Amino acid sequence: MTDPRDQIVDLLCEAEGLPHGPAKVALLEEAVQLADSLNDLDLGFEARNGLMEAANFSGRPDIILVAFTWCLAQYDRDRERFDSYDILWKYKWVITIAYQFPEISRPRLEQLLDDIDRRYREAGSTNYGVSLVRRKLMVHFGEWQKARAAHSQFRKCRRDFLSDCPACVAASNCYYFASQRHWGRAVQAAQPVLQNRLTCTEEPHRTLANVLRPLFHLGRLEEARVYQRRGYRLVGQANHFVEQHAEHLQFAVLLGDMAQAKRLLERHLSGALQIVTVDDRFQFLLAGRLWTDRLRSRGTRKLKVRLPKGLPSPDADGKSDVSALGAWFTAQSQEIAQRFDARNGTNAFQQQIDELPELLRLALD
Amino acid sequence: MTHRFQINLRGIIDLLSNHLYSRPEVFVRELLQNAVDAITARQHLSSKHSGEITLAVTSPRGKPPTLEVTDNGIGLTEDEIHQFLATIGETSKRDAEGRRTGDYLGQFGIGLLSCFVVSKEIVVVTRSVRDNSPAVEWRGQEDGTYSVRTLDLDIAPGTQVYLSCRAGKEELFRTESIKDLALHYGVLLPYPIRVTNGRASFVVNEEGAPWRRAYSGEKARTQALLRFGKQVFGTAFLDAIPLRSRAGRADGVAFVLPHPANLSARRAHRVYLRNMLLSEEADNLLPEWAFFVKAVVNADDLRPTASREGFYEDERLEAARVELGDCLRDYLIHLAEEESSRFQRFLAVHHLALKALAAQDEECYRLFIDWLPFETTQGRQTVRSLREPSKVVRYVDDVAQYHQMEKVAAAQGFTLVNAGYVYEAELLSRLPEIYPDMEVLQIDSAALAQDFDELALDEQDRIHDFLEAATDALRAFKCRPEVRKFKPADLPALFSAGADARFFRSLEQSKETADPLFQGVLGSLEAGRGNAPQTELIFNFDNPLIQRLTKMRPTSIVRRAIEVLYVQGLLLAHQPLTARELGILSQGLAGLLDPLIVPSEPARPKESEL
């Protein structure tokens, strides 16, 4: 009879050969299940490590929270047996994932931040990695002062073994400056990634989308169009780049390219509605709302558009009412904004909704 | 005043041999490149000049072998010789993209330095094509000293480089090695590279790029290309597809792999820049979906990366990639439309690549969708064979769930498609766009159970008590019991959990092990999802054991039997057990056995913790 452990190893190998996506996640989940049914902690740990990687790049961060919890508990029970590096490294993911679920309270998120801080100190790490996580979390909360404090703390730290890769750091800086509306600095921070001097698994995929809005504000449209084309090729196929799909949709609307905007919406809306990370969905809903507002201001009241189930249904001619769609996007995004703002104790999300008319005024014909 | 760095040549040579040049044999590439640059420069002066490069090997008895490389390029004057050494310091690092485009003389010097890796002394005899230039000899030693003198020799313009083999590098100076290396780096060059040893003489690139030659017909062309593929990669490829792109001025050939390609495997194509080998590991030259080919491509107008592993990612490369991709796409369309037997052969090996292409390109989707094979409960079937007998296609987009349902679906005579792998669900769900009368349903195990036979009214009466007991027993596990009739009859119960339910099971399991902080995090996550999706345990009315259980009075024995069937269902579905479920295995078994072992003892009370 074949050793069931061989079967687990086979599953891990088979998963290795697949690109990230639901199939890979499913195989690794099966490997985890098998390892657990044999009560083999080492294989369970190894399989979960693979599962977390795959889930991270397949739009299933919720799986990471669950798998990580198990790994951390095993690690705390027997620190000699399991590799601390993987645990500490992935802990950064865990926090940036956890805040995307509005049901996890703010005190609990802050406890997680304290916990990772303590663990990184114990491991002899500089504050580099943790302060980046803190900065990101504070930007999400809309706690601008605390975000700036984390930023200046980050600037004082040395890179070390637990620091994100340089490409990810550049991307994170771009994101941070854009959140502060420092458009020029955002683009400058992104330069090494835009020029392909720094790359990694998800860069320049994200940054090529995230610089579109800063470049639009700076009026550097030709440059932006180049990055848009390059960037969409990288994220168009993968369902988990919802935030980037939103950036591309928003950019098409701002440029007045309504045909492309419609294609993007048709192609990515259902993915955005399915994604478990609600703030990514929120960004896409905002872009959708911008699209309907733009259509209306151009005098389009009805149009044919392929939409997933659950949206206002089209009339007898198969045309959808633009106002009804706009109302739907507004209601959906309001609901998410309320949940986040209630959790965060700020009004950062509502503010993003309120800023839409201002953005719409900048849109080109 | 300005100063110059004193160059420690020995140090530079070490640097070159240890860092810049990963392998000693690159000196052949550098010498060829020097010759090519010199010939190109001369052709700028007189465009009709036809280049020629000779590599002459000698292997005298009792002395180290030598190599003499001769070109009929532009040649150097004495001033230029002094200059190339002076500029080495400035150009010894290649420019940001690793091009040898900057200063021709400096590049010449750098190329030459790489020869110290295999030779202690380098002698250059050169005569510039400029009027009245005398022949000049440069003699350089590895310690950095050199001498220059003019020669009273009436030689044709051009350059000769003499190397004398360092002890231990003899292998590189064998005629065969030199031939192989010259072929390796320079096979595409449009003028002859001759390798000689004594009276023996070969032109290594006699035929030039095989895709640029004229052939008697398509068949002869394909055969010649396949021979070339075999020679370069040692693989007998399925087919050869000519490639051409105006962007980047690229041409070449793509070889169809004879075995299924791994979707995430690194693509490694062999690329030439202006006919000299650049890299054997370029990975960004073709579109992502083109993982079924290995290509050899020359580009005259793309930028190399600094590491010289391939081409720099810019707009021109992107345009070239689109054009090269179109060549592959047109080839596939031609196969599908005109040559069905070859297309079938292609499909048998590369259906995954075709799925990737169809998912990304609407025209290809229309053309290929009918041919694409899927794993189904009736064996492997193409989309056409799926849609012809029925207007409904049912698929599962989750591999684990498919395997859970497969046996039962097959026993029911129910066609179910496994669309759990990349692109598959997307491809199927788009079918109605082309065939509007088709219905495509994504189903899970609960939906499968909908198709199981319902019980008749009187049968429902008979199982009423049993179902009550099961509901009660399974409530604590968030599992809902049902009774249906399904095949195979020897399966007493089918555990069914959608992807959501599986997620919650693993969440529970992690929570059991976690510290309070993470228990809280997972608890919030769980609460945020609303009602946990229930799992289902579907008892099979046609199964003899279930028949017997439904006829019994609902005692604690029935309850324990239900619990054990539940755990058995979990195990059959490869679900790991939580601590509580593990407890059932031991307690439940004991509970079943207790009355048999000690018949006088009253049945134990219900487990309070359940």
- For the record, the structure tokens of A275 come out as 């994604």
Cβ contacts of B506 on chain A, cutoff 8 Å? 29, 32, 66-67
ipTM: 0.87
Task: Compute the average pLDDT of residues A284-295.
Answer: 97
Q: What is the pLDDT of residues A221-266, one digit of tens each?
A: 999 998 998 899 888 878 889 999 999 999 999 999 999 999 999 9
* Partner-chain contact A70 B513, CB within 8 Å: yes
Spell out the residues 6+ positions from residue A144 whose beta carbon is closer than 8 angstroms to its own. Answer: A138, A180
Q: What is the pLDDT of residue B3?
A: 61
What are B271-318's pLDDT values in tens digits? 999 898 888 888 889 988 888 999 999 999 998 876 667 888 788 998
Please give the DSSP secondary-structure letter assigned to residue B8: -
With respect to residue A89, please indicate whether it lies within any of the assigned structural domains: no
Q: Which domains does chain B have, with CATH numbers?
A: 9-203 (3.30.565.10), 210-344 (3.30.230.80), 372-448 (3.40.50.11260), 452-498+533-597 (1.20.120.790)
Q: Cite the DSSP H helix spans in B295-382.
A: 315-338, 340-360, 362-368
Q: State chain B's mean pLDDT as an integer.
A: 84
pLDDT band at A26 (very low <50, low <70, confident <90, very high): confident
What pLDDT score was predicted for residue B610?
44
Looking at the domain assignment, is residue A331 inside a domain? yes
Q: Does A32 touch chain B (CB under 8 A)?
A: yes
**Chain pair A-B, CB pairs under 8 angstroms:** 113
The reported pLDDT for the residue numbered B88 is 58
Q: Provide the mean pLDDT of chain A.
A: 92
| Dist. CA B345–CA A166, nearest whole Å | 46
User: Contact A58/A28 with Cβ under 8 angstroms?
Assistant: no
Which phi and psi (to 5°) does residue B298 adopt? -105, 140
Asked whether residue B12 carries a pLDDT value surpassing 90, the answer given is: no
User: Does residue B183 sit at the A interface (CB-CB below 8 Å)?
Assistant: no
Predicted confidence at residue B97, as pLDDT, reads 37
The yes-or-no verdict on residue B603 having pLDDT over 60 is no
Can you list the alpha helix ranges (DSSP code H) found in B419-483?
Answer: 424-429, 431-434, 445-450, 457-474
pLDDT tens-digit series, residues B236-265: 999 999 999 999 999 999 999 998 877 666
Which residues in chain B have Cβ-Cβ distances shorter than 8 Å to A111?
A: 517
What does R_g of chain B's alpha carbons equal in angstroms? 37
pLDDT digits (tens, 9 = 90+) for B154-186: 899 999 999 999 888 888 899 999 998 998 898
Q: Give domain status of residue A311, yes or no.
A: yes
* Per-residue model confidence as pLDDT tens digits over B137-160: 999 887 777 888 999 888 999 999
For residue A327, tell me if it sits in a domain: yes
The distance of B91 to chain A (nearest Cα, Å) reads 21
Instruction: Tell if the pTM clears 0.80, that is, is over it.
Output: no
Q: Is residue A343 part of a domain?
A: yes
Shortest CA gap B264–chain A (Å) = 5
Q: What is the pLDDT of residue B96?
A: 36
Task: Give the count of domains, chain A.
Answer: 1
A174 domain-assigned: no
pLDDT value of position A15: 84
Q: What is the largest CA-CA distance in chain B?
A: 125
Please check whether residue A56 lies inside any domain of the structure: no
Contact B445, B401 (CB under 8 A): yes
Judged against a pLDDT cut of 60, whether residue B598 lies above it is answered with no
The per-residue pLDDT for B313 is 78
A204-217 confidence digits (pLDDT tens) = 999 999 999 999 99
pLDDT score at B129 = 92
What is the distance between the alpha carbons of residues B111 and B100, in angstroms, rounded to a whole number? Answer: 10
Residue contact B518–A196, C-beta within 8 A: no
Task: Categorize the per-residue pLDDT at B357 as very low, low, confident or very high, splitting at 50, 70 and 90.
Answer: confident
- Structural domain includes residue A51: no
Q: Is B524 in Cβ contact with A103 (below 8 Å)?
A: yes
Q: What is the CA radius of gyration of chain A?
A: 22
Structural domain boundaries enclosing A296:
257-365
